[in-house]
Amino acid sequence: MLRLNNYISASGRCSRREADEYITQNRVTVNGQPAVLGMKIDETDVVMLDGIVLKPLEENVTIAYHKPVGITCTSDTTIAGNIIDAVNYPKRIFPIGRLDKDSEGLILLTSDGSIVNRILRAENGHSKEYVVNLTSNIKPGFKQEMERGVSIYNPVRSEVTKTLPCKVRILSDTSFSIILNQGLNRQIRRMCFALGYTVARLKRIRVMNIELGYLPKGKWRELTPEETEVMMKMLGER
């Protein structure tokens, strides 16, 4: 069974909120009878909006991909080493955000354009976690400097930006994990550079509630229904 407003929204005609408005305006019928808010339907029911039968669009999919170093996060298949050719998914999908060509780890790809901006919008505070290896030993005070925000230079705008507060955990003499709630271009590398360090390896291990886990490099998997449900709740879609 599926909630009627979800079914109407899945047809691509409107949002769930707009679907509820259409129902209260008596513009929706189920099996020829006026629909009511909150009702549930199944696949055998005939749903009509303004006399037009609605059919849900093809179900969207979101996948988790372990991107290797050297793959470019672009949907432009004319670019060598693009992520679309690398994943080779049998359906049109596109990456949610970017992961630098010289970085590796988790990136999500989806056929659902409605969730992309919600995930990318920094003000939503959706966290991403990385493991970083440096070329030199970490000095005292590094954790505190990173966590309170680092002033980094933006060559495109010719201005200095201070990064938002973040969470850092020292893992070894030369490695640490970091949780960010923003996504500036090459942010971690620029933060480290501003403090006198060079990144040797950068790996993203989590986006929101989705973890890379033991997914082999270069492989992908579809999100589980439970992962999708939690993610949609975090995005305010449930």
Comparing CA positions, the residue from 205, 176, 217, 187 lying closest to residue 100 is 187
Which has more pLDDT, 15 or 159? 159
Token pair listed for 158: 């010719």
CA distance 41 to 54: 13
Domains of the chain, by residue range, sit at 2-53, 59-124+215-238, 127-207
Pick the CATH number of 59-124+215-238 from 3.80.10.10, 3.30.70.580, 3.40.50.2300, 3.30.70.20: 3.30.70.580
What is the pLDDT averaged over residues 92-114? 91
CATH 3.40.190.10 fits 127-207, yes or no: no
The three-class DSSP label of residue 71 is: coil
> Does the pLDDT value for residue 132 go beyond 90?
yes
CA distance 190 to 233: 32
Band (123; pLDDT cuts 50, 70, 90): low
The residues assigned a catalytic role are 100
φ/ψ bin of 127: left (φ > 0), alpha (ψ from -120 to 50), beta (otherwise): beta
How many degrees, rounded to 5, is the angle at CA 121 between CA 119 and CA 125?
80
- For the stretch 24-48, pLDDT in tens is 999 999 999 999 998 998 878 999 9
Band (122; pLDDT cuts 50, 70, 90): low
Q: Tell me if 59-124+215-238 shares its fold with 127-207.
A: yes
CA distance 59 to 72: 27
> Does the pLDDT value for residue 142 go beyond 90?
yes
CATH 3.40.718.10 fits 2-53, yes or no: no
Average pLDDT, the chain: 91
Cα 238–chain centre separation: 16
CA distance 192 to 63: 30
For residue 211, what pLDDT is reported?
98
